[in-house]
Amino acid sequence: MAWRLLLTEGYAAGVPFLKRALQVFCSGYISTAEGLRWLWPVINASVIAWDCESWHLLAARQIGLARDAGALVVLPVALISLSPVLFLMGDFAAAAALIAEAEEINEATGNPFYLDPYAALHLAAWQGDEVRAAALIEGGSAMARRRAREMRWSRSGGRPRFCTTDSGGMRRRWPRRNWPTIHRSSGPPWCCPS
């Protein structure tokens, strides 16, 4: 309901409901499986509501759950989720340490879902490091161009030939011919067109 109000009625109507939902997630127990699955959109809600206390608490909780579960695909995302609130609080060293850890994990695991170094770019910008920011912008632009060239598009409908699903914590690439089956049976509904 909070997201619907936010999108249809505006910020002033939606944020009180987002804050109520944030209170529930911040005050209650959440299992590892549920936390790994649901904390990332809840963290985004705290960002939209500019609730830095909830953002910090929930991102730190997600890091703890990911570490405890050994979820090396989720951990870098969790680390990157906490870094912006730290540099907004002025703790640039702690934010830089989290970003470096996320990059090390992604490099060691070959995580294909790694987002370009946006957190490092934001940190460089907040620190006023124009040289590093420019280098990260150029590197990110080159990476985006390379990824665009690597994407395989089918000739019918301009849809990608492969779909990524998340079932049971394992990310998989599925050929397009299996999309309707996968969509009904495992992945989240936003993953694949039916």
CA Rg, the chain, in Å?
18
Q: At what angle do helices 92-109 and 74-88 cross, to 10 degrees?
A: 160
Print the SS3 string covering the chain. Answer: CHHHHHHHCCHHHHHHHHHHHHHHHHHCCCCHHHHHHHHHHHHHHHHHCCCHHHHHHHHHHHHHHHHHHCCCCHHHHHHHHHHHHHHHCCCHHHHHHHHHHHHHHHHHHCCCCCCCCHHHHHHHHHCCCHHHHHHHHHHHHHHHHHHHHHCCECCCCCCECEEEEEECCEEEEEEHHHHHHHHHHCCCCCCCCC
Task: Of 23-27, 60-64, 116-120, 184-188, give the lowest mean pLDDT range.
Answer: 184-188
> What does the mean pLDDT of the chain come to?
78
Q: What pLDDT does 3 receive?
A: 77
| pLDDT for position 1 | 73
Which residue type occupies 170? M
Characterize the bridge pairing of strands 170-175 and 162-167. Answer: antiparallel
Rounded average pLDDT over 126-136: 93
When pLDDT is cut at 50, 70 and 90, the band that residue 193 belongs to is: very low
Q: What pLDDT is recorded for position 158?
A: 52
CA distance 132 to 139: 10
Is the pTM above the cut of 0.95? no
pLDDT of residue 110: 81
Taking the C-alpha atoms of residue 58 and residue 29, their distance in angstroms, rounded to an integer, is 11
| Cα gap 194→188, rounded to integer Å | 12
- 138-177 pLDDT per residue, tens: 888 887 777 677 664 433 455 554 444 444 444 445 444 4
Query: Hey, which residues does 164 pair with through a beta bridge?
Result: 173
| Neighbouring-strand partners of residue 166 | 171
Q: C-alpha 50: how far from its chain's center?
A: 17
